[in-house]
A and B are shown apart, each in its own frame.
Chain A
Protein backbone atom coordinates (compact mmCIF):
# COMPACT_ATOMS: atom_id res chain seq x y z
CA UNK A 1 0.00 0.00 0.00
CA UNK A 2 2.99 2.29 0.25
CA UNK A 3 3.69 2.81 -3.43
CA UNK A 4 4.58 6.45 -3.87
CA UNK A 5 5.54 8.11 -7.12
CA UNK A 6 7.15 11.51 -6.62
CA UNK A 7 6.67 13.48 -9.82
CA UNK A 8 7.15 16.92 -8.30
CA UNK A 9 9.31 19.29 -10.29
CA UNK A 10 9.39 17.07 -13.36
CA UNK A 11 8.47 18.52 -16.73
CA UNK A 12 6.14 16.97 -19.29
CA UNK A 13 5.81 14.08 -19.96
CA UNK A 14 7.87 12.68 -17.06
CA UNK A 15 5.04 12.56 -14.46
CA UNK A 16 2.95 10.44 -16.83
CA UNK A 17 5.86 8.18 -17.79
CA UNK A 18 6.83 7.33 -14.23
CA UNK A 19 3.21 6.89 -13.14
CA UNK A 20 2.47 4.52 -16.02
CA UNK A 21 5.70 2.62 -15.32
CA UNK A 22 4.62 2.11 -11.72
CA UNK A 23 1.11 1.05 -12.81
CA UNK A 24 2.61 -1.54 -15.14
CA UNK A 25 5.04 -2.72 -12.45
CA UNK A 26 2.49 -3.46 -9.76
CA UNK A 27 -0.47 -4.29 -12.05
CA UNK A 28 -3.02 -3.93 -9.29
CA UNK A 29 -3.27 -2.05 -6.02
CA UNK A 30 -2.89 1.53 -5.00
CA UNK A 31 -0.39 4.26 -5.79
CA UNK A 32 0.03 7.75 -4.41
CA UNK A 33 1.35 10.21 -7.00
CA UNK A 34 2.80 13.53 -5.86
CA UNK A 35 2.66 16.37 -8.38
CA UNK A 36 3.24 20.10 -8.12
CA UNK A 37 1.35 21.59 -11.07
CA UNK A 38 -2.24 21.50 -12.25
CA UNK A 39 -1.05 20.37 -15.65
CA UNK A 40 0.66 17.31 -14.15
CA UNK A 41 -2.45 16.61 -12.05
CA UNK A 42 -4.64 16.59 -15.16
CA UNK A 43 -2.17 14.57 -17.22
CA UNK A 44 -1.68 11.94 -14.52
CA UNK A 45 -5.46 11.65 -14.02
CA UNK A 46 -6.00 11.23 -17.76
CA UNK A 47 -3.25 8.62 -18.06
CA UNK A 48 -4.62 6.75 -15.03
CA UNK A 49 -8.01 6.37 -16.67
CA UNK A 50 -6.54 5.32 -19.98
CA UNK A 51 -4.63 2.55 -18.15
CA UNK A 52 -7.94 1.23 -16.79
CA UNK A 53 -7.19 2.51 -13.29
CA UNK A 54 -9.20 5.11 -11.44
CA UNK A 55 -8.44 8.25 -9.53
CA UNK A 56 -9.62 7.61 -5.97
CA UNK A 57 -8.83 10.92 -4.36
CA UNK A 58 -7.02 14.21 -5.02
CA UNK A 59 -5.79 16.19 -2.03
CA UNK A 60 -4.17 19.59 -2.40
CA UNK A 61 -1.20 20.13 -0.09
CA UNK A 62 1.58 22.67 0.42
CA UNK A 63 3.61 21.38 -2.48
CA UNK A 64 0.81 20.71 -5.00
CA UNK A 65 -1.41 17.65 -5.06
CA UNK A 66 -1.43 14.16 -3.65
CA UNK A 67 -3.28 11.90 -6.09
CA UNK A 68 -4.41 8.48 -4.90
CA UNK A 69 -5.03 6.07 -7.77
CA UNK A 70 -5.96 2.42 -7.73
CA UNK A 71 -7.31 -0.69 -9.40
Chain B
Protein backbone atom coordinates (compact mmCIF):
# COMPACT_ATOMS: atom_id res chain seq x y z
CA UNK B 1 0.00 0.00 0.00
CA UNK B 2 1.28 3.43 -0.91
CA UNK B 3 1.77 5.63 2.12
CA UNK B 4 0.06 8.90 1.14
CA UNK B 5 1.29 10.70 4.23
CA UNK B 6 4.89 10.09 3.18
CA UNK B 7 4.37 11.78 -0.20
CA UNK B 8 5.11 15.44 -0.85
CA UNK B 9 1.49 16.51 -0.36
CA UNK B 10 1.13 14.19 2.59
CA UNK B 11 3.92 15.81 4.56
CA UNK B 12 2.69 19.28 3.60
CA UNK B 13 -0.78 18.36 4.85
CA UNK B 14 0.60 17.05 8.15
CA UNK B 15 2.81 20.13 8.67
CA UNK B 16 -0.13 22.42 7.96
CA UNK B 17 -2.37 20.42 10.26
CA UNK B 18 0.17 20.72 13.10
CA UNK B 19 0.46 24.48 12.46
CA UNK B 20 -3.30 25.03 12.67
CA UNK B 21 -3.71 22.88 15.77
CA UNK B 22 -0.74 24.47 17.55
CA UNK B 23 -2.21 27.90 16.99
CA UNK B 24 -5.62 26.69 18.14
CA UNK B 25 -4.12 25.16 21.29
CA UNK B 26 -2.89 28.64 22.18
CA UNK B 27 -6.42 29.90 21.65
CA UNK B 28 -7.71 27.08 23.87
CA UNK B 29 -5.36 27.88 26.73
CA UNK B 30 -1.74 26.92 26.02
CA UNK B 31 0.89 29.68 26.48
CA UNK B 32 1.36 32.25 23.73
CA UNK B 33 3.47 31.14 20.76
CA UNK B 34 3.75 27.80 22.59
CA UNK B 35 0.78 25.83 21.25
CA UNK B 36 3.17 22.93 20.99
CA UNK B 37 6.77 23.03 22.11
CA UNK B 38 8.35 19.66 22.66
CA UNK B 39 11.28 21.04 24.66
CA UNK B 40 9.12 23.33 26.81
CA UNK B 41 6.54 20.62 27.40
CA UNK B 42 9.13 18.01 28.38
CA UNK B 43 10.56 20.65 30.71
CA UNK B 44 7.07 21.12 32.19
CA UNK B 45 6.80 17.35 32.62
CA UNK B 46 10.13 17.33 34.47
CA UNK B 47 8.61 20.03 36.68
CA UNK B 48 5.35 18.16 37.21
CA UNK B 49 7.38 15.21 38.46
CA UNK B 50 9.33 17.47 40.81
CA UNK B 51 12.64 16.80 39.06
CA UNK B 52 13.07 20.57 39.12
CA UNK B 53 11.23 23.07 41.30
CA UNK B 54 10.89 26.05 38.98
CA UNK B 55 7.35 26.80 40.12
CA UNK B 56 6.25 28.50 36.89
CA UNK B 57 6.96 25.58 34.55
CA UNK B 58 5.34 22.50 36.06
CA UNK B 59 2.59 20.66 34.22
CA UNK B 60 2.16 17.10 32.96
CA UNK B 61 1.59 18.04 29.31
CA UNK B 62 -0.88 15.62 27.69
CA UNK B 63 0.32 16.61 24.20
CA UNK B 64 3.62 14.79 24.78
CA UNK B 65 1.81 11.71 26.11
CA UNK B 66 -0.42 11.82 23.01
CA UNK B 67 2.53 12.08 20.63
CA UNK B 68 4.04 8.84 21.89
CA UNK B 69 0.77 6.92 22.21
CA UNK B 70 -0.53 8.19 18.84
CA UNK B 71 2.66 7.08 17.14
CA UNK B 72 2.48 3.74 18.97
CA UNK B 73 -1.07 3.21 17.66
CA UNK B 74 -0.12 4.10 14.08
CA UNK B 75 2.95 1.87 14.20
CA UNK B 76 0.90 -1.12 15.40
CA UNK B 77 -1.97 -0.48 13.01
CA UNK B 78 0.33 -0.33 9.99
CA UNK B 79 2.62 -3.11 11.20
CA UNK B 80 5.63 -0.82 11.52
CA UNK B 81 6.26 -1.35 15.21
CA UNK B 82 9.74 -2.74 15.63
CA UNK B 83 11.59 -2.90 18.93
CA UNK B 84 15.20 -1.94 18.50
CA UNK B 85 18.01 -0.39 20.50
CA UNK B 86 21.72 -0.43 21.07
CA UNK B 87 23.10 2.40 18.96
CA UNK B 88 25.27 4.15 21.55
CA UNK B 89 22.45 4.86 24.04
CA UNK B 90 24.57 6.75 26.56
CA UNK B 91 25.78 9.10 23.82
CA UNK B 92 22.17 9.73 22.81
CA UNK B 93 21.34 10.46 26.44
CA UNK B 94 24.07 13.11 26.62
CA UNK B 95 22.94 14.57 23.27
CA UNK B 96 19.42 14.79 24.70
CA UNK B 97 20.67 16.62 27.79
CA UNK B 98 22.56 19.23 25.78
CA UNK B 99 19.82 19.53 23.16
CA UNK B 100 17.46 20.50 25.97
CA UNK B 101 19.93 22.91 27.55
CA UNK B 102 20.45 24.63 24.18
CA UNK B 103 16.71 24.79 23.57
CA UNK B 104 16.11 26.35 27.00
CA UNK B 105 18.75 29.02 26.33
CA UNK B 106 16.68 30.06 23.29
CA UNK B 107 13.38 29.13 24.98
CA UNK B 108 11.91 26.67 22.52
CA UNK B 109 12.37 23.62 20.35
CA UNK B 110 12.40 23.91 16.53
CA UNK B 111 8.60 23.64 16.49
CA UNK B 112 8.29 26.55 18.87
CA UNK B 113 10.88 28.54 16.92
CA UNK B 114 8.52 28.24 13.94
CA UNK B 115 5.46 29.04 16.06
CA UNK B 116 7.18 32.06 17.60
CA UNK B 117 8.03 33.31 14.11
CA UNK B 118 4.45 32.62 12.98
CA UNK B 119 3.22 34.69 15.93
CA UNK B 120 5.39 37.67 14.95
CA UNK B 121 8.27 37.12 17.41
CA UNK B 122 11.24 38.28 15.35
CA UNK B 123 13.73 36.88 17.89
CA UNK B 124 12.81 33.51 16.43
CA UNK B 125 14.75 34.44 13.28
CA UNK B 126 17.96 34.25 15.30
CA UNK B 127 16.90 30.92 16.74
CA UNK B 128 16.03 29.49 13.33
CA UNK B 129 19.32 30.75 11.89
CA UNK B 130 21.15 29.14 14.82
CA UNK B 131 19.23 25.92 14.26
CA UNK B 132 20.24 25.85 10.59
CA UNK B 133 23.86 26.63 11.52
CA UNK B 134 23.99 23.84 14.12
CA UNK B 135 22.51 21.36 11.67
CA UNK B 136 24.99 22.48 9.00
CA UNK B 137 27.85 21.72 11.40
CA UNK B 138 26.21 18.34 12.02
CA UNK B 139 26.16 17.60 8.27
CA UNK B 140 29.93 18.21 8.14
CA UNK B 141 30.37 15.42 10.68
CA UNK B 142 27.92 13.21 8.77
CA UNK B 143 29.89 13.76 5.57
CA UNK B 144 33.13 12.80 7.25
CA UNK B 145 31.73 9.49 8.43
CA UNK B 146 30.13 10.24 11.81
CA UNK B 147 27.59 7.70 12.95
CA UNK B 148 26.60 6.06 16.21
CA UNK B 149 26.52 2.50 14.88
CA UNK B 150 23.71 0.06 14.30
CA UNK B 151 20.71 -0.67 16.44
CA UNK B 152 19.68 -4.25 17.08
CA UNK B 153 16.37 -5.98 17.14
CA UNK B 154 15.28 -6.68 20.70
CA UNK B 155 12.39 -8.06 22.77
CA UNK B 156 9.07 -6.62 21.62
CA UNK B 157 8.26 -5.51 25.16
CA UNK B 158 11.46 -3.43 25.27
CA UNK B 159 9.86 -1.14 22.71
CA UNK B 160 6.81 -0.70 24.93
CA UNK B 161 8.84 1.05 27.63
CA UNK B 162 8.30 4.63 26.49
CA UNK B 163 4.63 4.17 25.55
CA UNK B 164 4.10 2.53 28.96
CA UNK B 165 5.87 5.38 30.75
CA UNK B 166 3.57 7.84 28.96
CA UNK B 167 0.49 5.76 29.75
CA UNK B 168 1.65 5.74 33.38
CA UNK B 169 1.99 9.54 33.33
CA UNK B 170 -1.55 9.83 32.00
CA UNK B 171 -2.97 7.55 34.68
CA UNK B 172 -1.07 9.41 37.43
CA UNK B 173 -2.43 12.67 36.03
CA UNK B 174 -6.03 11.42 36.00
CA UNK B 175 -5.74 10.37 39.65
CA UNK B 176 -3.89 13.51 40.74
CA UNK B 177 -5.76 16.46 39.26
CA UNK B 178 -4.75 20.05 40.03
CA UNK B 179 -6.10 21.66 43.16
CA UNK B 180 -7.03 25.31 42.57
CA UNK B 181 -4.46 27.64 44.09
CA UNK B 182 -2.17 24.79 45.21
CA UNK B 183 1.27 24.04 43.74
CA UNK B 184 0.81 20.33 44.32
CA UNK B 185 -2.12 18.09 43.45
CA UNK B 186 -1.40 14.71 45.01
CA UNK B 187 1.74 13.31 43.40
CA UNK B 188 2.17 15.99 40.74
CA UNK B 189 3.28 19.59 40.77
CA UNK B 190 1.09 22.13 39.00
CA UNK B 191 2.16 25.71 38.33
CA UNK B 192 -0.16 28.26 39.88
CA UNK B 193 1.23 31.05 37.69
CA UNK B 194 3.48 31.41 34.62
CA UNK B 195 3.54 29.34 31.42
CA UNK B 196 3.03 26.08 33.35
CA UNK B 197 -0.35 27.32 34.59
CA UNK B 198 -1.58 27.93 31.05
CA UNK B 199 -3.03 24.91 29.36
CA UNK B 200 -5.86 23.77 27.14
CA UNK B 201 -8.37 21.31 28.68
CA UNK B 202 -6.75 17.92 29.28
CA UNK B 203 -8.97 16.04 26.85
CA UNK B 204 -8.34 18.58 24.07
CA UNK B 205 -4.56 18.46 24.56
CA UNK B 206 -4.59 14.68 24.66
CA UNK B 207 -6.71 14.23 21.54
CA UNK B 208 -4.63 16.75 19.58
CA UNK B 209 -1.46 14.99 20.75
CA UNK B 210 -2.79 11.58 19.71
CA UNK B 211 -3.82 12.86 16.28
CA UNK B 212 -0.48 14.53 15.63
CA UNK B 213 1.42 11.51 16.93
CA UNK B 214 -0.55 9.22 14.62
CA UNK B 215 -0.06 11.39 11.52
CA UNK B 216 3.55 12.31 12.23
CA UNK B 217 4.56 8.67 12.66
CA UNK B 218 3.25 7.87 9.18
CA UNK B 219 4.56 11.05 7.55
CA UNK B 220 8.01 10.99 9.27
CA UNK B 221 7.59 14.72 9.97
CA UNK B 222 10.89 16.11 11.28
CA UNK B 223 12.02 19.73 11.47
CA UNK B 224 15.70 18.92 11.92
CA UNK B 225 15.53 16.45 9.03
CA UNK B 226 13.89 19.14 6.91
CA UNK B 227 16.91 21.44 7.19
CA UNK B 228 19.45 18.61 7.18
CA UNK B 229 18.14 17.05 3.96
CA UNK B 230 18.04 20.47 2.34
CA UNK B 231 21.67 21.14 3.27
CA UNK B 232 23.01 17.63 2.77
CA UNK B 233 21.10 16.36 -0.27
CA UNK B 234 19.39 19.53 -1.62
CA UNK B 235 16.19 17.61 -0.99
CA UNK B 236 13.03 19.56 -0.16
CA UNK B 237 10.66 16.74 0.84
CA UNK B 238 10.58 17.27 4.63
CA UNK B 239 11.12 21.00 4.21
CA UNK B 240 7.64 21.24 2.69
CA UNK B 241 6.20 20.08 6.01
CA UNK B 242 8.21 22.62 7.97
CA UNK B 243 7.08 25.48 5.71
CA UNK B 244 3.47 24.33 5.87
CA UNK B 245 3.59 24.35 9.68
CA UNK B 246 4.86 27.93 9.79
CA UNK B 247 2.49 29.25 7.10
CA UNK B 248 -0.64 27.63 8.50
CA UNK B 249 0.20 28.68 12.08
CA UNK B 250 0.72 32.24 10.79
CA UNK B 251 -2.63 32.28 8.96
CA UNK B 252 -4.46 30.79 11.94
CA UNK B 253 -2.83 33.36 14.22
CA UNK B 254 -4.07 36.14 11.92
CA UNK B 255 -7.61 34.80 12.05
CA UNK B 256 -7.52 34.42 15.85
CA UNK B 257 -5.84 37.78 16.43
CA UNK B 258 -2.72 36.15 17.86
CA UNK B 259 -0.21 37.86 15.57
CA UNK B 260 1.94 40.54 17.17
CA UNK B 261 5.09 41.52 15.33
CA UNK B 262 8.29 42.77 17.01
CA UNK B 263 11.42 41.94 18.99
CA UNK B 264 10.39 43.36 22.35
CA UNK B 265 7.81 42.16 24.85
CA UNK B 266 7.31 38.80 23.14
CA UNK B 267 5.83 36.03 25.30
CA UNK B 268 8.31 33.65 26.96
CA UNK B 269 11.22 35.06 24.95
CA UNK B 270 14.28 37.27 25.40
CA UNK B 271 16.14 39.37 22.84
CA UNK B 272 19.77 38.54 23.41
CA UNK B 273 20.37 37.84 19.74
CA UNK B 274 23.69 36.06 19.98
CA UNK B 275 22.49 33.66 22.66
CA UNK B 276 19.26 32.94 20.84
CA UNK B 277 21.45 31.95 17.92
CA UNK B 278 23.99 30.00 19.98
CA UNK B 279 21.43 28.16 22.12
CA UNK B 280 19.53 26.91 19.11
CA UNK B 281 22.85 26.23 17.34
CA UNK B 282 23.80 23.84 20.14
CA UNK B 283 20.37 22.21 20.04
CA UNK B 284 20.49 21.88 16.23
CA UNK B 285 23.88 20.22 16.35
CA UNK B 286 22.72 17.78 19.04
CA UNK B 287 19.54 16.96 17.07
CA UNK B 288 21.56 16.39 13.89
CA UNK B 289 23.99 14.08 15.69
CA UNK B 290 21.06 12.18 17.23
CA UNK B 291 19.18 11.93 13.93
CA UNK B 292 15.96 13.75 14.75
CA UNK B 293 14.24 16.79 16.21
CA UNK B 294 12.62 16.37 19.64
CA UNK B 295 9.20 15.72 18.13
CA UNK B 296 10.58 13.05 15.83
CA UNK B 297 12.36 11.40 18.77
CA UNK B 298 8.98 11.06 20.51
CA UNK B 299 7.39 9.51 17.42
CA UNK B 300 10.32 7.10 17.08
CA UNK B 301 9.95 6.20 20.77
CA UNK B 302 6.36 5.26 20.01
CA UNK B 303 7.31 2.91 17.18
CA UNK B 304 9.77 0.92 19.27
CA UNK B 305 13.04 2.83 18.94
CA UNK B 306 14.70 2.45 22.34
CA UNK B 307 17.56 4.79 21.44
CA UNK B 308 15.12 7.60 20.68
CA UNK B 309 13.51 6.88 24.07
CA UNK B 310 16.89 7.32 25.73
CA UNK B 311 17.27 10.66 23.94
CA UNK B 312 13.84 11.75 25.24
CA UNK B 313 14.76 10.77 28.80
CA UNK B 314 18.01 12.71 28.31
CA UNK B 315 15.98 15.77 27.36
CA UNK B 316 13.76 15.48 30.45
CA UNK B 317 16.82 15.09 32.69
CA UNK B 318 18.47 17.98 30.81
CA UNK B 319 15.50 20.17 31.68
CA UNK B 320 15.87 19.29 35.34
CA UNK B 321 19.57 20.13 35.20
CA UNK B 322 18.86 23.37 33.34
CA UNK B 323 16.42 24.61 35.97
CA UNK B 324 18.15 23.23 39.08
CA UNK B 325 21.43 24.92 38.14
CA UNK B 326 20.02 28.12 36.69
CA UNK B 327 21.11 27.39 33.11
CA UNK B 328 17.75 28.10 31.48
CA UNK B 329 17.01 31.57 30.18
CA UNK B 330 14.04 33.63 31.29
CA UNK B 331 12.39 36.63 29.61
CA UNK B 332 15.14 38.63 31.39
CA UNK B 333 17.77 36.88 29.27
CA UNK B 334 20.48 34.27 29.60
CA UNK B 335 22.43 33.50 32.78
CA UNK B 336 26.19 33.24 33.23
CA UNK B 337 25.82 29.57 34.05
CA UNK B 338 23.76 29.15 30.89
CA UNK B 339 26.53 30.64 28.78
CA UNK B 340 29.00 28.24 30.36
CA UNK B 341 26.67 25.33 29.62
CA UNK B 342 26.39 26.29 25.93
CA UNK B 343 30.18 26.32 25.61
CA UNK B 344 30.54 22.95 27.33
CA UNK B 345 27.70 21.54 25.22
CA UNK B 346 29.26 22.66 21.95
CA UNK B 347 32.63 21.15 22.95
CA UNK B 348 30.98 17.85 23.94
CA UNK B 349 29.03 17.69 20.63
CA UNK B 350 32.17 18.42 18.61
CA UNK B 351 34.02 15.70 20.50
CA UNK B 352 31.21 13.25 19.77
CA UNK B 353 31.08 14.28 16.11
CA UNK B 354 34.82 13.92 15.62
CA UNK B 355 35.44 10.69 17.50
CA UNK B 356 32.44 8.51 16.72
CA UNK B 357 32.85 7.00 13.33
CA UNK B 358 31.92 3.43 12.82
CA UNK B 359 32.77 1.68 9.61
CA UNK B 360 29.42 0.52 8.25
CA UNK B 361 29.92 0.06 4.53
Contacts and interface: CB of A to CB of B under 8 A. Distances in A.
Given A9-B152, A20-B233, A14 B220 contact: no
Task: Summarize B's interface: helix, strand, loop or mixed.
Answer: loop
B336 interface: no
Interface size class of B (residues with CB under 8 A): 20 to 34
Contacts of B148: 11
Interface string B142-162: 100001101111000000000
- Interface centre among A37, A42, A63, by most B CB within 10 Å? A37
A12 B292 contact: yes
B204 to A, nearest CB: 29
A26 to B, nearest CB: 13
A46 interface: yes
A24 B150 CA distance: 23
A50 B235 contact: yes
Contact of B142 (A17, A36, A37, A39): A17
Interface string B212-226: 000000001010010
- Interface centre among A39, A43, A47, by most B CB within 10 Å? A39
A10 interface: yes
Contacts of A9: 84, 87, 150-152
A8 B80 contact: no
B291 A12 contact: yes
Interface of B: 3, 6, 78, 80, 82, 84, 87, 142, 147-148, 150-153, 220, 222, 225, 228-229, 232-233, 235, 237, 291-292, 307, 360-361
